[in-house]
Amino acid sequence: MAKPVVIWSPAYEVDIGPHVFPTAKYRMVRDRLLSEGVLDPADLVEAEPVTDEMLGLVHTPEYLEKVRENRFSAMERILLEVPFSIALADSSRICCGGTVQAARAAVRDGVAVHLGGGFHHAFPGHGEGFCVLNDVAVAAATLLEEGAVSRVLIVDLDVHHGNGTASIFADDRRVFTFSMHQERNYPHHKPPSDLDVGLDDGTGDAAYLAALRKHLVDIVERFRPEAALYLAGADPYREDQLGGLAVSAEGLRERDAFVLETLRNHGVGVAVTLAGGYAVRGADTVSIHVTTVTEAVRVFQGGSR
Ligand SMILES: [Zn+2]
């Protein structure tokens, strides 16, 4: 059966030393998808770096110059919370390109996947929280700039609030930002999304899925997006080191299925990005991401549960 376009890059596995952010997960997810037969090597498309023009739709020229030349102040480095390097900058640029490719394919094919991306804490003029460049915002802005679509929905289900994305599109009515996250978690200051659903600590599967069901269909029917970008963060997982929503792996699978089927049933092309995931056991993070991709392939092929 036909498969969705799946974008990946070896550049995402950046050496950042001992760190809670497991950059090896991108390679491990890819390897698992191939070894389990979810994907064939021919299904994978390598990400290409984004153009400066596309980056300039979201980020300021001053910030892009800092990224290019590795000129950050001590404060900016602290805010980033991940050691900056030219390799990380290259990885971030390629990642933006990958999300753009996935977004274009989603508009064309209905579903596409990026085995990376979701760096929603990057603002126009600074990076923070492991995020250098906001690939999701760059992809949304690129689709609009190209005239491919006139309304884009961002469904951000990472456990952390999508502060950078919310800020970038605060005054842009063409983009609806929906963030459902753990309220008492990073980032402390949460610039308003178009809809923020801040959940309590230890929310658990039933209340988590009920909140999602309550809001997503309504947003899709009111805003009528022509494309969607989905941040399928693995960090709402109950054994995540940086998340406290107590959602099970099965709950996350139901979440992914619901998001993807809702969008498909409304004829909205969706590009999936992986976003966060910091489980105590790295293999759990990989499994959750693999399940997300498996659900995307199933929905692409027209399956229902
Ligand atoms: Zn996160």
What confidence tens digit (pLDDT) does each residue in 125-135 have?
999 999 999 99
Q: Give the Å distance between the CA of 166 and the centre of ligand 1.
A: 15
DSSP string, the chain: ----EEEE-GGG-----S-SS-TTHHHHHHHHHHHTTSS-GGGEEE--PPPHHHHHTTS-HHHHHHHHHT---HHHHHHH-S---HHHHHHHHHHHHHHHHHHHHHHHHSEEEESS---TT--SS--BTTBSS-HHHHHHHHHHHTTS-S-EEEEE-SSS--HHHHHHTTT-TTEEEEEEEESSSS-SS----SEEEEEPTT-HHHHHHHHHHHHHHHHHHHH--SEEEEE--STTBTTBSS--S-B-HHHHHHHHHHHHHHHHHTT-EEEEE-----BSSHHHHHHHHHHHHHHHHHHHTT---
How far apart are the CA of 113 and the centre of ligand 1, in A?
Answer: 18
Interval between CA 138 and ligand 1 midpoint (Å)? 18
So what's the pLDDT on residue 304?
66
Top-confidence residue, 294 or 1:
294
pLDDT at 77: 92
Ligand 1 ion: residues within 5 Å (CB):
158, 160, 233, 235, 276
Share of the chain above pLDDT 90, in %: 94
- Indicate if the pLDDT at residue 10 is higher than 80: yes
Active site residue 126: no
**If you average pLDDT over every residue of the chain, what do you get?**
96
- State in Å: Cα 2 to ligand 1 middle: 31
Q: pLDDT value at position 221?
A: 98
Report pLDDT digits (tens) over 140-196. Answer: 999 999 999 999 999 999 999 999 999 999 999 999 999 999 999 999 999 999 999
Catalytic position from the list 59, 121, 160, 289: 121
Judge whether residue 272 has pLDDT over 90: yes
Give the pLDDT of residue 181: 98
Q: Could you report the per-residue pLDDT of 32-85, keeping only the tens digit for each?
A: 999 999 999 999 999 998 999 999 999 999 999 999 999 999 999 999 998 889
